[in-house]
Amino acid sequence: MREYMQILLLTLLSPVKNEKGAQSLEWLGLAALLILVLGIISTAVSGQSGAISGLIGSIVSKISGMVGN
């Protein structure tokens, strides 16, 4: 009876010990989320190129004003 219970326990726990597939799926999900966020940001920014360049220009001018150049 003890051997039967050990075999049953090993049979039930063997799929749980193999976590390589789960870890791969987590990394794929993280990569998909990153691509989605970058796509949303690029879509939101694509029509505002003048505003972004103006913002960057004002940041650079304020920093150069603080530095004294």
Q: Tens digits of per-residue pLDDT, 16-68?
A: 555 666 778 888 889 999 999 888 877 777 766 677 777 778 888 888 888 87
* Residue 58, both tokens: 């004002």
User: 1: closest CA among 13, 15, 9?
Assistant: 9
Is a pLDDT exceeding 60 seen at residue 7? yes
How far is residue 46's CA from residue 1's CA, in Å, rounded to a whole number? 69
| Start-end of H helices in 1-69 | 2-17, 20-46, 49-67
